[in-house]
Structure formats: structure tokens, C-alpha cells
Amino acid sequence: MIKNIIFDFGDVFINLDKKGAMDNVLNLFEMNELSDEIHAINILYEQGLMSTDEFLEFYLDNFPDHDRDALLDSWNYILRDFPLHRLEFLEELAADKKYKLILLSNTNELHINWVKENVNFYEEFKAQFDAFYLSHEIQLRKPNANIYEFVLKENNIKAEETLFIDDTEENIVSASKLGIHTWHINPETDDITSLMSTKSDLF
């Protein structure tokens, strides 16, 4: 039986527009496409191998005519929506107190800061979880760590009693290799709210 639920933040609770973010960055810096160097820097940051300060410093060094706020705005375009009904679903689940709820965010520090500033129920949302981890920070501290194994050990929970919910195939595969149950959601149909009925065999 499932005793723990790990939610991925991006696309489970917020709607992301990654193409829109890239288009906005290209427009900001008046480029038709990302150079190989910029693409490599973006990957390093997404993988948690570069701090936010280092990431911003690279852009500001290479594009001195742009200020920090303009850069932040261009990257935060990725966050398009944070539907209130998903918070309501989470509150109902947390009130049941049947499961340990854990939030794992692949969104980085830039995006989390945007959420804090623009979502007026962020603190209320975060309060529903027993633990909250930024995978970006985990990888900065422990570059070779398996993020899902790290979360299991940190919370002293068993893989076979844990469900991981995400929309990214790569993450689903990585978690399932540890014996964690997984549910690959479709954010476009918003099927996060049908979680309990859909996975009734596990609950």
C-alpha cells in the first residue's frame, strides 16, 4: 500500500511553457537561435551543475547591455499558470493525513522565486507538504546523487510504499528503477485531480 507520495512541482501543479521561455530569451538577446555555448550553459544550470549566481553572471557578462531584471523576466516566462483547483485538491489530500506528502521541484531557483512573488497562495500551498526539495540544490551539493534515492533516504521511507507523480518520461524511468511506483500524468488533461480514483489499486 502507498504511504508516501512524491509530487514533481513542474507540470503537476504549475503549467510550463518551455518553448515560450526560449522564444522570449531569443527575443531579449536579439538572436535567431541559441549558440552552442549558451545551450551548454543552460543545460548545466538545468542539471544543477551551476549555481543561479553563476548562471546569471554568465549572461550578464556576455550581454552587458541587459540588466538582471530583464534576464529574470525572460526566464520566468516559463511559468504560465498555477490553477487554484490544484491547491484545493492538495488540501483535501493533506487533510486526510493518510500519506506523507513530498514536493520535489525540478524548476530552479529563478522559477521558485517567481512563484513566491506572483502566486498569493504559495505559502499555503507549500504548507501542505511534509518535505520540499529542489533537485537543483541536491545536485549542486551531491553531483553524483540519484535525486529519488536521496529523497527516500532523507525521509526514511521505502520505495515500494512510495508513489512518484510526474509528466516527464525520463524522471519516471529513473524513479521506477528504484522500485518506486510511478504515475505518468498528462498535464494537458489535468488528470492530477483524478489521482485517487485512477490509482485505486495502489491506495
Residues 153, 138, 181, CA angle at the centre, nearest 5°? 50
109 part of a folded domain = yes
Match 497562495 to its residue by C-alpha cell: 121
Residues 97, 103, 104, CA angle at the centre, nearest 5°? 155
- What is the pLDDT of the chain when averaged over all its residues? 78
pTM over 0.75? The answer is no
Closest CA to 77 of 21, 19, 11, 13: 21
Q: How far apart are CA 70 and CA 52, in angstroms?
A: 15
Mean pLDDT of 80-97: 79
Are 183 and 29 spatial neighbours (Cβ–Cβ below 8 Å)?
Answer: no
User: Does one domain contain both 58 and 108?
Assistant: no
- Which CATH number goes with the domain that contains 140? 3.40.50.1000
Match 530569451 to its residue by C-alpha cell: 25
Which of the listed residues 28, 61, 78 is the one where a domain comes to its end? 78
User: Does one domain contain both 66 and 31?
Assistant: yes
9-53: pLDDT as tens digits:
876 777 666 666 677 777 877 878 878 888 888 777 766 677 777
More confident residue, 118 or 7: 7
User: Does one domain contain both 107 and 144?
Assistant: yes
User: Does one domain contain both 73 and 129?
Assistant: no
Tell me how far CA of residue 59 lies from CA of 28, 116, 162, in angstroms: 12, 23, 40
User: Does one domain contain both 71 and 85?
Assistant: no
203 part of a folded domain = no
User: Does one domain contain both 32 and 112?
Assistant: no
Most confident listed range (16-25, 94-103, 166-175) = 94-103
User: Does one domain contain both 94 and 171?
Assistant: yes
167 part of a folded domain = yes
User: Does one domain contain both 94 and 192?
Assistant: yes
Identify the pLDDT of residue 154: 92
Residue 185 phi/psi, 5° resolution? -85, 165
Residue-range definition of the domain harbouring residue 108: 4-15+81-198
Are 76 and 111 spatial neighbours (Cβ–Cβ below 8 Å)?
Answer: yes
Q: How many structural domains are present in the chain?
A: 2
Q: How far apart are CA 193 and CA 145, in angstroms?
A: 31
pLDDT confidence tier of residue 191, bands split at 50, 70 and 90: low
User: Does one domain contain both 87 and 142?
Assistant: yes
User: Does one domain contain both 95 and 192?
Assistant: yes
Which of the listed residues 35, 60, 78 is the one where a domain comes to its end? 78
User: Does one domain contain both 74 and 111?
Assistant: no
141 part of a folded domain = yes
User: Does one domain contain both 39 and 89?
Assistant: no
Please count the other Cβ atoms lying within 10 Å of the Cβ belonging to residue 152: 22
More confident residue, 7 or 144: 7
Element (H, E) at 91: helix 84-96
